[in-house]
Structure 1
């Protein structure tokens, strides 16, 4: 005789917490300050590396545009961060120590010197003063560029916010790809078409990395992928994918059509903004709902007990 099926005598439990409060606090960083800081830092980093490579390959006008973009993006990124902190002295206090185990400390020590050398490089390029020092500053900024593109992803994934923490292997790839396309967007807008061939190739690489990483975020993290697919974050990331694809398509025609280059550049920059705001919003939503903490935690405990 087959055993009788068990029937639940109580309703399925809802995931709540004491007094209706979330288990985790929402990220205390302000919007739009921090998403803009994430976007501008990535744009600045990729532009600095692009400038260095442009100089090495004999593309002076592209190098000039990229130097200005690196300095402008870094300066605006610092302004956004300081506005979020509330007082300029708080940023200076972050530089009093260097703690290799802290992504925030390491990030501060990437942002501060990068902003300085990028500004020196751009100032020398514009004024023609101290070209040797300007060249050395440009090399330093170019070498720091990849770290500028990705350290903010490490900073987010080092938090307890579920959808950020679970994405520690994918967020750096997404931010690097998005930084490449954002830097390419500025170059397509302002550099002559005769020098943007490598920019288009870099943009296509960034597009591939961004689309693959976004797909991973939306499907490969189990339950905590849900905030990346739903609500405001889902709409922003969907728009980012579409804009990135449009930018990539238009960039292929950039050397033959100035309107295509401008439209492609705008699409890439808009995609970068949508990506950063979407990722930030997904983290906020995952911190609000207790299920994104409780269910993955129980799954990890069950897996550990069964092994």
Structure 2
């Protein structure tokens, strides 16, 4: 107990040997020593009346998740179509060109349906903003769609074969961007399950798109011409599976949303279907037409489940405030600890 007192002449009765602060300690901050146990546990997180911290995802699942899946399928199909066209596999090339056209058409329809009216999509083309994934994506769709359509129509009618070849090759270049850009589109948000996976999500989407396009080629083309489709399907399945594993291992708390509820069921189905489809493509895809078709259908379904699962995980993470606030607090504590470690040597010198 301190016996000091404040008088008009100053402080009397002070006992520095007991009350003075050393240089290693600052008022208002107490550093916990290594191995020291807190007597009071950390409080559990709770938000204001349990309300979400973030604005909820306003997009319809069927529209935007379908848009993500169909856009990836279209882009990868154009790449596979160009390869088949150049290497003399006409049946596979025709099937992939038609798949790309149908998929990109469905993708645009889903996007416009979510926007409410076509004029809103047209309005996004009034400005090109390189830093905006939505702006870049709108221009990609506007440029890629006509190319995919020209390639398919020329192939079906036989008209303007040179122009059709040019459109096929150009659609393959644009298709690569279309298959990948939706990953930064959703990761460039505050939604934890999307934003925290920004490093691996492009690989997940590209792998998923390649698996879907390969599966479509296995379904539509004869086995004699479907070797490149099987290879693309297997490579895409491996890339998607590994990227998903890495993403969920690195994300931390937000990775829980990929294991729970509707998102968890969809992601488990995606993994099962993708692995089964890739295995069938390797073991039986070149021997049995039925096995090739079933494997292709499994790969298509697995890719769709991946996109819908990612979308549902995002909506779940935005609805629960702990996925936003708890990681933020952890990052703040880590920064404070780093700052304290940098300041400790100077404090210790003053204390000595």
- TM bucket (normalised to shorter chain) is over 0.9
In 2 relative to 1, CA 5–269 (structure 1 residues): closer, same or farther, beyond 3 Å? closer
* Structure 1 residue 103 corresponds to structure 2 residue 133: yes
Question: Is the counterpart of residue 260 in structure 1 residue 308 in structure 2?
Answer: no
Using the alignment, how far apart are the partners of 1:146 and 1:176 within structure 2?
A: 8
Find the counterpart in structure 2 of residue 280 from structure 1: 311
Q: Is the 8 A contact 2:215 2:299 kept in 1?
A: yes
Moved over 6 A (4+): none
Which is further off, 171-180 or 130-139?
A: 130-139
Gaps of 5+ in 2: 1-35, 339-352
Distance 1:56 1:6, change over 3 A: closer
How far apart, CA to CA, are the structure 2 residues paired with 1:183 and 1:99? 30
Q: Which residue pairs with 2:27 in the alignment?
A: none
What is the deviation of 1:219? 2.2
The alignment status of 1:217 with 2:247, answered yes or no, reads yes
Please give the residue correspondences for 1:78-157 in structure 2 after superposition, counting only pairs within 5 Å: 78-157=108-187
What are the equivalent positions in structure 2 for 1:31-70 lying under 5 Å apart?
A: 31-70=61-100
Per the alignment, residue 8 of structure 1 pairs with 40
Q: How many residues align?
A: 302
1:105 deviates by 0.3
Q: Alignment partner for residue 330 of structure 2, among 295, 299, 302?
A: 299
Question: Partner of 1:197 in structure 2?
Answer: 227
How far is the alpha carbon of 1:7 from its aligned partner? 4.1
After superposition, give the CA deviation of every residue in 1:180-201 in whole Å (9 maximum; x if it has no partner).
0100111011101001112111
What is the root-mean-square deviation of aligned Cα atoms in Å? 1.5
User: What is the CA–CA distance in structure 2 between the aligned matches of 1:181 and 1:293, rounded to whole Å?
Assistant: 32
1:206 counterpart residue number: 236
Structure 1 unmatched runs, 5+: none
Secondary structure of residue in 2 paired with 1:140:
helix
What's the secondary structure of 2:125's corresponding residue? coil
Which whole-Å CA distance do the structure 2 matches of 1:67 and 1:31 have between them? 27
TM-score, normalization: structure 1?
0.95
Equivalent residues of 1:218, 1:229 under 8 A apart:
no
TM-score, normalized by length of structure 2?
0.83
